Amino acid sequence: MRAIDIIHAEHRALSAVLQAFRFVLDGIRAGTMQPDYVLLDALIEYITEVPDRLHHPKEDDVLFVKILEVLPELAPLIEKLQHEHVMGARSTKALREALKVYQAQGSAGFAEFDAAAMRYIESSRKHLVTEETELLPIARQKLAPQDWAGIDAAFEANKDPWSGPTGEFRTLFSRIVAMVPAPYGVGPA
């Protein structure tokens, strides 16, 4: 069940970036941090690229398909998760636009950007929790070794949340860590 380890690792990487994003928004809202638009842009790039290009395709095209085949009674849960993938991709696109507006308007535009970003962070967190608590434990229990063989192979072929297919996520993640202040990063306080 190499696939499950890979999913956990990708969920952890994404959670770390979501927590850093929340930390930065809290700081700006409290007035203890100046808005850093380059950092905000990098955070949005990560939460757009990693789920949409690396993570969700493997769930949608491989894991969910096999689960549905073996456990058709999970169809409502799978449909909900797939719908959340679609909505998530829409939300990150909207966030990118909201950041442009915020950058143009300055502090007057923060509240709207903040609300949209916090909504995204919360729904993305819930999505990860649902997969971790409602989907993966049942899949681990009910899928047979031959089911996992195919899933594992597909996940092995595309697995690295830290560096991505061509190394670009490593650079992006390092940039984020360098810009976010402690304790979530090593950037200037």
Query: DSSP letters of 109-151?
Result: GHHHHHHHHHHHHHHHHHHHHHIIIIIHHHHHHHS-HHHHHHH
Is residue 152 a contact residue for Fe ion (CB under 5 A)?
no
Question: At closest approach, how far in Å is the CB of 11 from Fe ion?
Answer: 6
Contacting Fe ion within 81-110 (CB under 5 A): none
Contacting Fe ion within 20-49 (CB under 5 A): none
By CB under 5 A, the count of residues binding Fe ion is 2
Contacting Fe ion within 54-83 (CB under 5 A): 59
Question: At closest approach, how far in Å is the CB of 81 from Fe ion?
Answer: 5
Is residue 131 a contact residue for Fe ion (CB under 5 A)?
yes
Question: At closest approach, how far in Å is the CB of 105 from Fe ion?
Answer: 33
**Cβ burial 144-167 (10 Å sphere, 16+ → b, else e):** eeebbeebbebbeeebebeebeee
> Residue 170 is inside which H or E element, if any?
helix 168-179
Return residues touching Fe ion (CB under 5 A): 59, 131
